[in-house]
Amino acid sequence: DSGVTQTPKHLITATGQRVTLRCSPRSGDLSVYWYQQSLDQGLQFLIQYYNGEERAKGNILERFSAQQFPDLHSELNLSSLELGDSALYFCASSVGAGVKETQYFGPGTRLLVL
Amino acid sequence: ELKVEQNPLFLSMQEGKNYTIYCNYSTTSDRLYWYRQDPGKSLESLFVLLSNGAVKQEGRLMASLDTKARLSTLHITAAVHDLSATYFCAVDFNIHSNYQLIWGAGTKLIIKP
């Protein structure tokens, strides 16, 4: 158990809908990262927040957004969902801004868009 | 283009054998990470390699980094069934003044008794 929690574990929804995924980092960690893992694209970095501020942006679609709250938990919002958004979404956390640091991964949220 | 390539992508081997997984990357970096993922599970950190020539060992796994060759290896010694998993390498690149990990496609390792 990494200490990173994610809810929900599974999510089934329809195309065009909007969902929110939630992540709580390990106690004391200031950075939160979001990743998407799919069979065809592999593991893709989406976005990083550090102490409430956006730190780095990867291959995140405009339909997706995220934020980190004052208590350091983070939410990833996915809107206008498409079939291709079906994937495993991981949250990870690290102590600082991420340079030379291990990222600790949560259990993931499996999203199925029908 | 920033790329991280692993090979092989799939490896089936017998218990007791040795093998090596390779991770090549396209642009200078001296920070490389190895992770393990069991089917349907999350990713678990194995090694953090932060300098040229770094070598880390844990049990039957040993990882090394050659930043000049832009190459890391994950060596498995006398494999056992419990090591069956998918192994990922990830490289820390400076992109627009921020660092982010670029991931290899993963090597699926099956160890047969």
A26-56 pLDDT, tens digit each: 999 999 999 999 988 889 999 999 999 999 9
pLDDT tens track for A63-102 = 999 999 999 999 999 999 999 999 999 999 999 887 778 8
The verdict on a CB contact (< 8 Å) between B102 and A106 is: no
State how far residue A58 is from chain B, nearest Cα, in angstroms. Answer: 8
Q: pLDDT class for A112, splitting at 50, 70, 90?
A: very high
Amino acid identity of A64? F
Q: Does A94 touch chain B (CB under 8 A)?
A: no
State how far residue B14 is from chain A, nearest Cα, in angstroms. Answer: 26
Q: Does B93 touch chain A (CB under 8 A)?
A: no
Q: pLDDT class for B13, splitting at 50, 70, 90?
A: very high
State how far residue B26 is from chain A, nearest Cα, in angstroms. Answer: 17
Closest partner residue to B100 (CB to CB) among A45, A106, A107 is A45
Per-residue buried b or exposed e for B29-50, using 16+ beta carbons within 10 Å of the residue's own CB: bebbbbbbbeeeebbebbbbbe
Q: Does B56 touch chain A (CB under 8 A)?
A: no
For chain B, give percent helix, strand, coil, nearest 5: 5, 60, 35
- What is the structure's pLDDT at B77? 96
Q: Provide mean pLDDT across the span B14-28.
A: 94
In chain A, which residue's Cα lies nearest the Cα of B89?
A: A43
pLDDT tens track for B30-78 = 899 999 999 889 999 999 998 888 899 999 999 999 999 999 999 999 9
